Amino acid sequence: MKFQAIKGVRDILPPESALWNRVEQAARDVFGTFGFAEIRLPIFEQTELFARSVGQETDIVSKEMYSFQDHDSSISLRPEATASVVRAYIEHGMQTLPGNVKLYYMGPMFRRERPQKGRYRQFYQIGAEVLGPSDAPGIDAEVIEMLLAFFERLQLKGAVLNINSIGDKNCRPAYVELLRAELQKVREQLGADSQRRIDTNPLRVLDSKLEHEQAIIEKLPHIADHLCAECRAHYDEVKRQLALRGITYQENWRLVRGLDYYMRTTFEITAPGLGSQNAVCGGGRYDGLVELLGGQATTKGIGFAIGTDRLLLSLQESGAGEVEGGLDVYLAWFGAAAQTAAIKLARRLRDAGFVVELPAVEMKFGKSLGLADRLKARHAVILGEDELAAGVVAVKNLADGTQNKLAEQDLFSYLRASHASD
Ligand code: ATP
Ligand code: MG
């Protein structure tokens, strides 16, 4: 029997895992400077939590969740994390905390989708949420600013910000009905998915990528023309706040999100190199969600989720995915006395932060140095009976072949200097 990873899930191996670490560390650093702190969430929750928040009629809940019976309750692997953040916010009474609560998370999500490039069944998200009493448009803009600062830190190229407002419970229902009525008129010209969505979720028709539906969709009414005064003012102020931050964006009236809880501001960021899976981040405001899940009606919320897998693909595609790393020192030793000295030297080098490979068994000189080459070590430090007697080490720069004999106390500064000039 030969085991294989399950369809749609994959292993992240070195050296790529180093890039994952860099990306996640950059998120911690950048989000931290905006006052966000990490929340660690469970991987599974009651199915009902997702049904209630994401929405029963969404693709995610209706066909993509991994759900199973646990005794007499239904449990699901999380398809996204906003529901869990809000659940935790309410469960822990975080509304009593001062100001807005700013949280970020990172980790795997699970959706039973058709696997392809940038689309997996276990995929990863890095997300952030702001929950609290204020829905000031400045919060929306700052969340987007933080997101873009993160992408900039990673030197992601070609990211494009799309924004839209999808109204609130005062104005959206009327627009949805108008949309439904208009869609009924063209029902026969639409594909099966869109036909179904006329009944279940007409907004999602705007999301369609089907070639033959595009001309029809372009003629549908725009939500921007149907926003209530409050939503319009909120949206205008979000745009002004983005401009204050020097952030450029494209308005995209067809940008609706696939989850029911969004309202007012929605946004999405696309990046190059991803084919049709080009959205690296989706987000928006969800002011009614806390109340929907049993919390206070006055609590507002906004957040985003970055598709980490796609972010990495785009970085790799553009050449920004290289990570410094590798082996600094291959410590070749020859003879029992040299091994003892090498063990101690390896300890001191590692304490000083160098990455050291110490062969566990003695090898012939040629074989040992050959391995150092194949491991792509920067330097081979050679410790034999002669060096030991003379109180020196031999250092070979494996990139250019130059060799030096150094007193041990000079080795550290030598390695540091050559590392800095790499
Ligand atoms: P898409 O339209 O590409 O299916 P979505 O609207 O389902 O995306 P969200 O639920 O908003 O996506 O999730 C936010 C981000 O998570 C997406 O922009 C994407 O980068 C990433 N993402 C979503 N589903 C997957 C998946 N199956 N595999 C990899 N990344 C994903
Ligand atoms: Mg999706």
Residue 370: give its domain's CATH number.
3.40.50.800
Determine the Cα–Cα distance for residues 274 and 174; give it in Å rounded to an integer. Answer: 36
Query: Ligand 2 centre and the CA of 60: distance in Å?
Result: 7
Where a domain ends, among 318, 351, 380?
Answer: 318
Joined together, the tokens standing for residue 118 give 């940038």
Determine the Cα–Cα distance for residues 303 and 266; give it in Å rounded to an integer. Answer: 10
pTM of the model: 0.93
Q: What is the mean pLDDT of residues 46-60?
A: 92
Give the per-residue pLDDT at 201: 86
- What own/partner pairs with CB < 8 Å and gap ≥ 24 does 246-252 have? 247/141, 247/144, 247/145, 247/148, 247/161, 248/161, 249/161, 249/162, 249/163, 250/160, 250/161, 250/162, 250/163, 251/162, 251/163, 251/164, 251/224, 252/162, 252/163, 252/164
Same domain, 67 and 156: yes
Provide the number of structural domains found in the chain.
Answer: 2
Where a domain ends, among 318, 348, 364?
Answer: 318
Give the per-residue pLDDT at 421: 66
Asked whether the beta carbons of 255 and 267 are under 8 A apart, the reply is yes
Residue 20 lies in a domain: yes
Q: Whose CA is nearest to atom 11 of ligand 1?
A: 282
Same domain, 309 and 340: no
Residue 370 lies in a domain: yes
Query: Ligand 1 centre and the CA of 307: distance in Å?
Result: 6
Residue 81 lies in a domain: yes
pLDDT at 255 over 70: yes
Same domain, 361 and 254: no
pLDDT at 12 over 90: yes
Q: What is the mean pLDDT of residues 407-418?
A: 92
**Domain span holding position 44:** 16-171+227-318
pLDDT at 258 over 80: no
Residue 324 lies in a domain: no
Residue 114 lies in a domain: yes
Same domain, 292 and 360: no
Q: Which mutation among 309, 311, 312 tests ligand 1's pocket best, with the greatest number of atoms within 8 A of CB?
A: 309
Same domain, 311 and 409: no
Same domain, 158 and 280: yes
Q: Which spans in 92-170 are helix H?
A: 137-153
The share of the chain scoring above pLDDT 70, in percent, equals 99
Same domain, 312 and 337: no
Phi (first) and psi of residue 195, to 5 degrees: -60, -45
Is the omega angle on the peptide bond into residue 272 within 30 degrees of 0, that is, cis?
Answer: no
Same domain, 139 and 243: yes
Determine the Cα–Cα distance for residues 386 and 334; give it in Å rounded to an integer. Answer: 10
Q: What is the mean pLDDT of residues 64-80?
A: 97
Residue 188 lies in a domain: no
CA of 80, closest atom in ligand 1: 10
Same domain, 270 and 416: no
Q: Which mutation among 123, 262, 278 tests ligand 1's pocket best, with the greatest number of atoms within 8 A of CB?
A: 123
Same domain, 288 and 262: yes
**Longest pairwise C-alpha distance within the chain:** 93
